[in-house]
Amino acid sequence: MGKTLLKKVWDLHTVRQLPTGQTQLFIGLHLVHEVTSPQAFDALRQRGWKVARPDRTFATVDHIIPTVERKRPFLDVIAEDMIASLERNCRDFGVRLAGLDDDRQGIVHVIGPELGLTQPGMTIACGDSHTSTHGAFGSVAFGIGTSQVRDVLASQCLALEPLKVRRIRVTGTLPRGVYAKDVILEIIQRLGVRGGTGYAYEYAGDTVERMTMDERMTMCNMSIEGGARVGYVNPDETTFEYLKGRPFAPPGDAFERATEWWRSIASDADAVYDDEVEIRASELKPVVTWGVNPGQSIAIDERVPAPDEVDEPQAVSDALDYMGLEPGRPIAGMKVDVAFIGSCTNARLSDLREAARIVKGKHVAPHVKALVVPGSVGVSQAAEREGLDAVFRAAGFEWRGAGCSMCLGMNPDKLQGNQVCAASSNRNFKGRQGSPTGRTLLMSPAMVAAAAVAGKVVDVREFVN
Amino acid sequence: MGSITRIQGRALPLRGDDIDTDRIMPARFLVGVSFEGLEKHVFEDDRKAAVRPHNRHPFDVGHYQGATVLIVNSNFGCGSSREHAPQGLHRWGIEAVIGESFAEIFFGNAVMIGMPCVTAAPADVRTLMDLVEKNPKAEVAIDIAAGTCVAPDFRCTVSLPPNVRDAFTSGAWDTTAMLLDHYEQVDSTAAKLPYVAGF
């Protein structure tokens, strides 16, 4: 009987069974950022511990940094303190840091892959739930809390319970104007925001096999929104091609040896899964969320639900009320105030290219504030080399510095009052984008671009044909 | 670290599925280098939104002040991995959470700080919520080892994964020391990994 990638990687990284019965798992790469690490470094100081494997630890700044003016010190003194604290911690403990003045800086889940730090067969941990992104490379990547960040810093290990595996096979050709973002939103809608609890999601099928690494990252990124802490795609030629020549990828002959090993850790053809789900790509349409969790979504040509026709009337009525939506109205035509293209879900070069293609020669609607926040300095520079920044600026978008920005509003980029935001990010929770009454509509970056131009939610398929 | 076997006290029912950690602890309160003072901001935006007197947020209802047991519905703590959420609840005074189900990262974070999140059948959770809403002074006792939750005229089974239950009852829920034990095994596991060895 064959094994899944999850099982192979899990077994290779198992140090021992702990007295509690949990597995002690070695972590091959620990990514660190400014928000979830200060208390963990303090705990190490208090107990006189060192960072066990600085050579397997890499830090950057992303969550709180301003995207307009990056000059130090920041106006926000607490934000300044957090960045200074990460710099001090990295210096004291010998951890590599891609700081604000470093060309490698960016959202932690964008730079890991971009630098070639993220590789197939690794276990990866980071104090951020979207660590599942790295699974796109065939690694097993966990989002963790600060106490677990302390554990990984001190021991390079985590104490974990094993996961079941659900294979989600996506087959067929995606229609024009339908993207990886729509596929994952559809999966979350069908399986529910709790459906993945206790599971790792393995994304497979010919649609996924044809996806670029950027697209696979978008899929894996949002696994956690479906309740699955881990999501992954088996590594293949697309993965190896992406990694070749990256700064931290194996150099020279070592790359060939690495490729051989990477192939060996992919799920076997006869692997047995705890559950299997099929999705037909050709039936999909652009998806938009209408509610306050990423599972509350519909296709662009559908109507939002009415509480009296659903199983969870209270939850639906509460969500519609928060969103200011009348029951049963079409989602198309909903007015948007802000358009945000950014986040670890959709701020890579291919996302910006696709959005730029939509806005080229057009202009953002007069009432819309539109911004593009590239996922990393690397993405930003590559986009500028292609002239994408000029396309966005000419269309009335603001072109910002790299960071998490308005995905979670921990820096000055926040919604105001009950503004409606068309967002390429990952969460439409109440208050998520920095205003306690702000409203988020999740969609693909191309859909955000189209909404920015139209000033309302529209079907991007009308723009791309 | 001490063992955690029994949590007893008044309870606070918080209705709703899929309550995410952004609601429990809005992101602006994550700006800071310590967890101190987070108890002041638990559910801050939800509490401000629930302004009408008959609609007061449970965390602002006088009867529930001093509660040590939080009662929730399903998928509590979904979304962001921010430990600030369970930290805030714990610092507010919550010592255990009983619910229909929990999101995985939140559950793990709560274990790490010694706040058990036990699950019970949906019908039992609803009955317990009703009971506490009618009688906020009711004492609720969760016995971790026995796997029970007892309140006046109420008793139900609660569960934790066996490993987690044993970690609480034996006092082994603080994992760092355990992970640092036998460190030579960590080095030997790592050395066998091709990518650590440099291919």
- Look up the CATH number of the domain holding residue A231: 3.40.1060.10
Contact flag B104-A229 (C-beta cutoff 8 Å): yes
Q: pTM for this one?
A: 0.97
Q: Do both A242 and A93 map to the same domain? A: no
What is the predicted pLDDT for the residue at A184? Answer: 98
Cα A155 to Cα A453: distance, rounded to the nearest angstrom? 50
The reply to whether A410 and A331 lie within a common domain is: yes
Is B99 strand, coil or helix?
strand
pLDDT at A464: 84
Which of these three, A283, A316, A337, is where a domain ends? A283
CB contact under 8 A, B22 and A128: no
- Interchain proximity A155–B23, CB inside 8 Å: no
* In a domain? residue B194: no
Give the total number of structural domains in chain A.
Answer: 3
Q: What is the DSSP letter of B82?
A: -
Tell me, yes or no, whether B153 lies in a domain. yes
CATH value at residue A346: 3.30.499.10
Q: Which two tokens stand for residue B108?
A: 């793990």
Q: Which two tokens stand for residue A233?
A: 């795609």
Of A157, A229, A254, the CB nearest to B105: A229
Report if residue B154 sits inside a domain.
yes
| Burial class for B64, CB neighbours closer than 10 Å (0-12, 13-18, 19+) | buried
Q: Which residues of A188-227 are buried (b: 16+ CB within 10 A; e: fewer)?
A: bbebbbbbbbbbbbbbbbebbbebebbbbbbbbbbbbbbb
The tally of domains found in chain B comes to 1
Q: Are residues A450 and A303 in the same domain?
A: yes
**What integer pLDDT is reported at residue B54 of this predicted model?**
74
Min Cα separation B177/chain A (Å) = 9
Domain end marker among A215, A249, A283: A283
Residue B122: inside a domain: yes
Helix orientation angle between A146-155 and A38-47, rounded to the nearest 10 degrees: 50
A276 and A382 assigned to the same domain: no
A294 shares a domain with A311: yes
Residues A193 and A131 grouped into a single domain: no
Residue A295 shares a structural domain with residue A267: no
pLDDT value of residue B115:
97
Could you tell me if A276 and A292 lie in one domain?
no
Domain boundary among A256, A283, A310: A283
What tokens were used for A354?
A: 């696709």
Q: In terms of domains, do A416 and A323 share one? A: yes
Digit-coded pLDDT (tens) for B97-120: 999 999 999 999 999 999 999 999
| Lookup result for tokens 């600026």 | A393
Nearest CA in chain A to B184: A15
CA nearest A426 in B: which residue? B79
- Quick check: is B30 in a domain? yes
Does the distance separating the beta carbons of A193 and B33 come in below 8 Å?
Answer: no
Whether A59 and A79 map to the same domain: the answer is: yes
Same domain, yes or no: A269 and A180: yes
Tens-digit pLDDT string for chain A (465 aa) = 899 999 999 999 999 999 888 999 999 999 999 999 999 999 999 999 999 999 999 999 999 999 998 889 998 899 999 999 999 999 999 999 999 999 999 999 999 999 999 999 999 999 999 999 999 999 999 999 999 999 999 999 999 999 999 999 999 999 999 999 999 999 999 999 999 999 999 999 999 999 999 999 999 999 999 999 999 999 999 999 999 999 999 999 999 999 999 999 999 999 999 999 999 999 999 999 999 999 999 999 999 999 999 988 999 999 999 999 999 999 999 999 999 999 999 999 999 999 999 999 999 999 999 999 999 999 999 999 999 999 999 999 999 999 999 999 999 999 999 999 999 999 999 999 999 999 999 999 999 999 999 999 999 999 986
β-bridge partners, B140: B9
Q: What is the pLDDT at residue A465? A: 67
The CATH number given to whatever domain includes residue B156 is 3.20.19.10
Residue linked to tokens 């659903």: A310
Chain B residues with CB-CB distance to A260 below 8 A = none
Residue B62 inside a domain? The answer is yes
Domain membership of residue B137 (yes or no) is: yes
Tokens of A244: 């070749």
Bridge partners, residue A330, by sequence? A303
User: Could A147 and B33 be called an inter-chain contact, meaning their C-beta atoms sit closer than 8 Å?
Assistant: no
Considering only CB atoms, A28 lies closest to which of B79, B83, B193, namely B193
Confirm whether B177 is domain-assigned.
no
Q: What is the pLDDT of residue B171?
A: 87
User: Quick one: closest CA in B to A122, which residue?
Assistant: B195
Distance from CA of B169 to the nearest CA of A (A): 10
Q: With contacts defined as CB-CB under 8 Å, which chain B residues touch A157?
A: 179, 186
Q: Is the ipTM of this complex over 0.90?
A: yes
- B-chain CB neighbours of A432 within 8 Å are 22, 27
- Report CB contact under 8 Å: B22, A21: no
Query: At residue B53, does pLDDT exceed 80?
Result: no
Q: Is 80 exceeded by the pLDDT of residue B51?
A: no
- Which of the 8 DSSP states describes residue A231? E
Which of B18, B178, B195 shows the shortest C-beta gap to A159?
B178
By DSSP bridging, strand B6-13 and strand B148-151 are unpaired
Residue of chain B whose Cα is closest to the Cα of A314: B16
A155 and A56 part of one domain: yes
Q: Which contacts (CB < 8 Å, 24+ apart) does range A1-4 have?
A: A1/A270, A1/A271, A1/A272, A2/A267, A2/A268, A2/A269, A2/A270, A2/A271, A2/A272, A3/A267, A3/A268, A3/A271, A4/A165, A4/A202, A4/A267, A4/A268, A4/A271, A4/A272, A4/A273
pLDDT (tens digit per residue) in B131-148? 999 999 999 999 999 999
Give yes or no for residue B1 having a pLDDT over 70.
no
Give me the pLDDT at residue B174, please.
75
Print the domain residue range for A62. Answer: 5-160
CB distance A375 to A110 below 8 Å: yes
Structural domain boundaries enclosing B99: 6-172
